[in-house]
Amino acid sequence: MINAKLYLLPNTISEGEWQYVIPVGVKERSLPIRHFIVENIRTARRYLRKIGFNTNFEEVEFYELNKHTLEQDIPQFVKPLKEGFDMAIISESGLPCVADPGNHVVQLAQQQGIIVVPLVGPSSLMMALMASGFNGQNFAFVGYLPIDNAQKLKTLKQLENRIYSENQTQIFIEAPYRNQKLMEFIIKNAQASTKLCIARDISGPKEKILSKSILEWRKVKINIQKQNTVFLLYK
Amino acid sequence: MINAKLYLLPNTISEGEWQYVIPVGVKERSLPIRHFIVENIRTARRYLRKIGFNTNFEEVEFYELNKHTLEQDIPQFVKPLKEGFDMAIISESGLPCVADPGNHVVQLAQQQGIIVVPLVGPSSLMMALMASGFNGQNFAFVGYLPIDNAQKLKTLKQLENRIYSENQTQIFIEAPYRNQKLMEFIIKNAQASTKLCIARDISGPKEKILSKSILEWRKVKINIQKQNTVFLLYK
């Protein structure tokens, strides 16, 4: 019987103040923890200091888990839990274990009967969905669209098909330096009546969330290049 | 040009302390607001008092928006915004405008060029997904499954098909008094290798989030009747 808990500690997603996106109770839960699983030690330390984690880092153990981590090394990450120490996973941005390798550790924890405790923080996907005005009772997040243009067009048509046949909002993201190109691709190739929501820099100083039909977007200009953006399509 | 903002103010989702799920900065943003769109005035007032909103309610206007509201009455909800007053939408539980009629107001606000600002709070869907260990890079929330058993079985098979053919985690909910029956239905009818995550009372005192294969669930008992639960399926 393992009593130690695996906390999932969200990170900020923009340059804004952390107090707007992380509850005080969440910060307090992180204070007694001495074992963290993080994507990048340097930025995780900076985040912990920002929210008021004052323990000397010499008393803290960090385990780096990212795309360079070998699958066979993952079981060692849950060892402190088995020894009775609470742990927390922190991602580089937003909710951990949603779009990062943290979910492999959670999977293992679930298999071994370890209690997993998700904490509250900013989700750019949900914040974009709330502010889009699109259907929140049926939606899908599909990650990235294919890079190849023919494949991208095919995927766009499949997503539009799901919007019209299933009333399902379709959500996706792109590498920031390709954002502008993707937006132009969608405005050019989606149906005129389809609605596109562009949610830029959520919770940050340049936050802008706009929902318009493709027809309307063809008359409007907005710059999203190199800025974190969530794309949403609906009818 | 309208400068007033429409804030989307999340609510708590369980009996736990609000400080664990609502950031202080979010509470502070609600303090100057005098015009609220809510599902139920009585519970919205109680929530505002809980987080420290101390203004006399005689100085505050509440607009009730719920399933009884007529569509033709919705345009009047954004009137204070046009007169320059900030407004906030509060739902009965969790994130507003995701699974409640608030999204009709947001839609209208978007059409009229009003700035919509989503705030951070608890999302039972995302917290369940984080703690499930399932795929967070591709997932769908499909709302409720059909009530009729033949239809429900058909939908379950479609969801399983999407899990195996698209690597897409499938998320759904049920009316709490039907939770136990739905869980038993899934355990009986899904493929033995499919994984089911049951996320009960997220952020509350009875929180329990368990991911197991259907084969394992057939040997385990858990009571979720009349408790808020999120269901997730993956492979």
Q: Which CATH number applies to B124-234?
A: 3.30.950.10
The band of A160, judged by pLDDT with boundaries at 50, 70 and 90, is: very high
* CA B118 – CA B6 distance, rounded (Å): 8
Helix axes B102-111, A124-132, angle to 10 degrees: 70
State the pLDDT at residue B2: 72
Q: Same fold for the domain at A5-118 and the one at A124-234?
A: no
What CATH code would you report for A5-118? 3.40.1010.10
Percent of chain A with pLDDT over 70: 100
What mean pLDDT, rounded, does chain A reach?
Answer: 95
Q: Is residue A43's pLDDT more than 90?
A: yes
Give the pTM. 0.97
Q: What is the residue whose two structure tokens read 């008094």? A: B177
Contacts 24+ apart (CB under 8 A), B151-155: B152/B185, B153/B189
Alpha helices, DSSP H, located in B37-78:
41-50
Residue A67 has pLDDT above 90, yes or no: no
A 6-45 → B contacts, CB under 8 A: 8, 17, 19-26, 29
How far, in Å, are A37, B137, B143, B189 from residue A7 at the CA level? 10, 20, 27, 32
Mean pLDDT in residue range A110-137 = 97
B143 CB neighbours in chain A (<8 A) are 137-138
Domain boundaries, chain B: 5-118, 124-234
Helix, strand, coil content of chain B in percent (nearest 5)? 40, 20, 40
Task: Find the range with the poorest average confidence among A28-32, A98-102, A110-114, B76-80.
Answer: A98-102
Nearest to A98 among B109, B129, B197 (CB): B129
Which stretches of A122-221 are assigned E, i.e. beta strand?
139-144, 169-173, 195-200, 208-213
Are residues B227 and B206 in contact, defined by beta-carbon separation less than 8 angstroms? yes
Q: Confirm or reject contact between A2 and chain B (CB < 8 A).
A: no
Q: Give the per-residue pLDDT at A101.
A: 85
Residue B136, C-beta contacts closer than 8 angstroms, at least 6 positions apart? A97, A98, A99, A103, B129, B130, B169
Q: Which residue of A has its CA nearest to B16?
A: A25
Q: Which residues of chain B have pLDDT under 70?
A: 1
B87 reaches A (C-beta below 8 A): no
A23, A202, A212: residue with CB nearest B19: A23
pLDDT band at A71 (very low <50, low <70, confident <90, very high): confident
Distance CA A139, CA A171 (A): 7
Find the mean pLDDT for residues A131-145. 97
Q: Residue A148: phi, psi to the nearest 5?
A: -60, 130
> What's the pLDDT score for residue A99?
80
